[in-house]
Structure 1
Amino acid sequence: MLISTAYAQAAGGAGATGDLLQTFLPLILIFAVFYFLIIRPQSKKMKQQRAMIDAIRRGDKVITAGGIIGTVAKVKEGGEVQIDIAENVRITVIQSTIANVLSRTEPADKASNDSKKDDKKTSE
């Protein structure tokens, strides 16, 4: 007979665990690199953007994703914001399309408290 019979060698039980670790270790390392270099910074940036958008109030100067610069006139329910872009020109945009807040106004409560403190300082 020209073809001989080949028999598979029996694999040892102790070496299988080490081989499994060597097989999956590169995949685990790649996932860890992706997490720390891509996923984590992106989620942190999204969280900061969401906090900035949620903190928008009347009087803030903003820029939209379309490049329109204006002053917030009114924050409506349902995620809409009215922006003054020129004299007697007011547009309504979706709150999530605001790309950046250029300047912030002080909250009314804080501004009134500061003016009261200044009044007390001048009277003393």
Structure 2
Amino acid sequence: MTTPNLVLLQGAQAGDGGMMSMLIMMGLLFAIVYFFMIRPQNKKQKEIQKFRDALRAGDEVVTIGGIQGTIKRIDDETNTIILNVATGVEIRFDKSAIIPKGTSNNR
């Protein structure tokens, strides 16, 4: 073989190994992102959903807007909650607007 052909063959072989190592690095990067970002977020969402499913009348809650109140009634058909925020003052909220008390700063 001539010298230029030999150099081209060596470059092609190095390129194949480079592609494989790049794929491995991308796979490792995806795994790191999944285990440090996506998985904890999914776990937190499941915990919040479990909290919302366990809500009962009389529970004290906070909305994502910071309004604190006591649950008066839960309507599962419309997925809403009636909060008693003061004497004679009731506000209707979507169930997804309720967060565990004490977590309003940690959304």
What's the TM-score bracket when you normalise by the shorter of the two chains?
0.7 to 0.9
SS at match of 1:57: coil
Report the counterpart of residue 33 of structure 1 in structure 2.
Answer: 32
**Shift of the alpha carbon at 1:10?**
3.3
**Shift of the alpha carbon at 1:91?**
0.7
Please give the per-residue CA displacement for 1:26-76, whole angstroms capped at 9, x wherever unaligned. 111111110111000000000101111111110100000111110000001
Report the counterpart of residue 86 of structure 1 in structure 2.
Answer: 86
Please give the per-residue CA displacement for 1:67-93, whole angstroms capped at 9, x wherever unaligned. 111000000122100000011111111
- Structure 1 residue ranges, 4+ long, deviating more than 3 angstroms after superposition: 10-20
Q: 1:54 to 1:101 in 2, by over 3 A?
A: farther
CA contact (8 A) 1:52 1:101 kept: no
**Shift of the alpha carbon at 1:12?**
9.3
Report the counterpart of residue 51 of structure 2 in structure 1.
Answer: 52
**Shift of the alpha carbon at 1:18?**
3.7
Instruction: State the Cα RMSD in Å.
Output: 2.4
- How many residue pairs align between the two structures? 97
CA contact (8 A) 1:64 1:97 kept: yes
CA distance in 2: counterparts of 1:38 and 1:94, whole angstroms? 27
Q: Identity over the aligned pairs, expressed in percent? A: 33
SS at match of 1:78: coil
When the two structures are superposed, what TM-score results if normalisation uses the length of structure 2?
0.78
Q: Unaligned 5+ residue runs, structure 1?
A: 1-5, 103-124
Q: Unaligned 5+ residue runs, structure 2?
A: 103-107
Report the counterpart of residue 23 of structure 1 in structure 2.
Answer: 22
SS at match of 1:72: strand
SS at match of 2:42: helix
